[in-house]
């Protein structure tokens, strides 16, 4: 599949149509998704209607938007009108269908994009692997015996497999960045509060972010530009004027200060994750180190707060329908519901101290370079992994480098290494101070131009 920018340009130029692009995407889903299991619902009727509207607008001389005819899909915690929002669960199946689209889905539709469906995820977004017991595991397009990551695994896999040009995911503790790294694509977790969350099924409201996936920086920028918009219904949104990053991709990195994350971020992983960081740091001329004290403590706080918020949210169903939860999530939700308030309050204090320490790091750096995942994609079903001479659980450790960042709401953009050590995809986090997404896009675009960052080819 062509990228978003190329598809929209061809449709606007009249060399193809939105209808043709939609049919090609539907054919790709039919051909590839049986092996990947990214989609939980394909909205073919809706997609064809939206494509026809784009083509009709062009025929009438109207501008259908910057994403004219671009196929995309969304994690199945985004509301799609007429469809029940499953959020990866079985419990939601009997509940009413959404009466309107999520805010970000409406933004993409207004930009001319065409929605092809809903995507697999960990139940209620609680996981890093998308090994969903209800819907089956999503498989990594680069090796179908391996994990796609999570909880937005279907969103990353659908883009990496070339079934759609763009997708939307959510990120509580790393759920955009982990699958972006394991699937070898670009993923953005914006600043907390930057993008509206109206019409999405939240996991832990004080942590949840929404954001896009794409196979290149220009496409990611087009999606991010389209997603920005003020939403009076989202009281957590910290509205700022739109920041059109697509216009800044050629600005380069001159004048920017870089540092490599040390301490917690310089251990807890395999050689391939640190090799990826070194490659990016070398390309950017980064020699300074940002020690980032309290990162490990911040991660511990993130575990407790998200458990407590998630357990509280699902307590009614935990009391009445415990056996209907995915076994992969049920015990963690139950544990969260039973956490002492004292522990949660202490975790919030640690979280605040970690945030203050993290923000101080940007006195000396504009962008901090950190690993995205501690290793490349593990095998589906793999329980344990050896790290730093110790055997530890695979699944929770996938978020070892992402949890501290989302815990305090910093923007982060994952870039896939063009030639990853060992051959399997792996990404690197570019992290900035709040509201500095434009800087992250400048740096990611420079890394892409230099050949250091790139998505692997789509496997047929």
- Residues forming the active site: 75, 151, 175
Pick the closest to residue 127 from 8, 135, 145 (CA basis). Answer: 135
Show the tokens assigned to 269: 């992983």
Sequence-ordered list of residues with C-beta below 8 angstroms from that of 339, at least 6 positions apart, any chain: 304, 307, 308, 311
CA 408 to the chain's CA centroid:
17
Does residue 369 have a cis bond before it (omega within 30 degrees)?
no
Query: CA–CA distance from 13 to each of 30, 51, 166, 329 (Å)?
Result: 28, 15, 20, 48
Contact 435, 249 (CB under 8 A): no
∠ Cα 122 128 130 (to 5°): 35
Contact 51, 18 (CB under 8 A): yes
Contact 337, 330 (CB under 8 A): no
Sign of the CA dihedral 91, 135, 38, 151?
A: positive
Q: How far is the C-alpha of 213 from the C-alpha of 156, rounded, in Å?
A: 7
DSSP 164: -
∠ Cα 201 101 70 (to 5°): 110
Point out which residues pair with 354 in neighbouring strands: none
Contact 169, 187 (CB under 8 A): yes
Q: How far is the C-alpha of 273 from the C-alpha of 254, rounded, in Å?
A: 26
Specify the DSSP element, H or E, that contains 143. Answer: strand 143-147
Q: What values do phi and psi take at 357, rounded to 5? A: -65, -40
């Amino acid at each position: 599949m062509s990228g978003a920018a190329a598809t929209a340009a061809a449709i606007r130029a009249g060399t193809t149509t939105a209808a043709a692009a939609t049919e090609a995407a539907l054919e790709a889903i039919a051909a590839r998704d049986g092996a990947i299991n990214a989609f939980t619902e394909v909205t073919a009727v809706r997609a064809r209607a939206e494509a026809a509207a784009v083509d009709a607008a062009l025929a009438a001389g109207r501008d259908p938007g910057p994403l004219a005819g671009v196929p995309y899909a969304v994690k199945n915690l985004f509301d799609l009108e007429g469809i029940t929002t499953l959020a990866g669960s079985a419990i939601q199946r009997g509940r009413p269908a959404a009466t309107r689209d999520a805010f970000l889905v409406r933004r993409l539709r207004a930009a001319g994009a065409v929605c092809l469906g809903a995507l697999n995820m960990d139940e209620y977004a609680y996981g890093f692997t998308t090994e969903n017991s209800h819907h089956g595991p999503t498989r990594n397009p680069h090796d179908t015996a391996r994990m796609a990551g999570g909880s937005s695994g279907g969103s990353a896999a659908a883009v990496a497999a070339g079934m759609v040009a763009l997708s939307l995911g959510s990120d509580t503790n790393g759920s955009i960045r982990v699958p972006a790294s394991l699937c070898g694509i670009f993923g953005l977790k914006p600043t907390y509060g930057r993008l509206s969350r109206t019409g999405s099924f939240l996991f832990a409201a004080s942590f949840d972010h929404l954001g896009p996936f794409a196979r290149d920086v220009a496409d990611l920028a087009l999606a991010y530009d389209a997603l920005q918009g003020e939403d009076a219904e989202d009281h957590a949104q910290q509205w700022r004027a739109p920041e059109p990053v697509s216009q800044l991709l050629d600005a380069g990195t001159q004048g920017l200060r870089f540092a490599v994350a040390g301490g917690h971020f310089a251990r807890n992983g395999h050689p391939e994750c640190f090799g990826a960081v070194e490659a990016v740091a070398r390309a950017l001329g980064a020699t300074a180190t940002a020690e980032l004290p309290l990162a490990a403590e911040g991660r511990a706080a993130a575990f407790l707060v998200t458990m407590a918020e998630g357990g509280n949210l699902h307590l009614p169903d935990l009391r009445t329908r415990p056996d209907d939860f995915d076994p992969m999530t049920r015990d963690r939700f139950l544990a969260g519901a039973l956490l002492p308030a004292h522990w949660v309050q202490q975790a919030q204090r640690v979280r605040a101290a970690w945030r203050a320490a993290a923000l101080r790091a940007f006195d000396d750096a504009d962008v901090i370079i950190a690993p995205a995942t501690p290793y490349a994609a593990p095998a589906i079903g793999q329980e344990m992994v050896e790290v730093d001479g110790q055997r530890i659980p695979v699944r929770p450790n996938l978020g070892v480098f992402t949890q501290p960042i989302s815990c305090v709401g910093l923007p982060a953009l994952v870039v896939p290494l063009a030639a990853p050590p060992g051959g399997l995809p792996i990404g690197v986090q570019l992290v900035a101070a709040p509201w500095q997404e434009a800087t992250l896009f400048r740096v990611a675009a420079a890394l892409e131009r230099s050949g250091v960052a790139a998505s692997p080819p789509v496997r047929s």
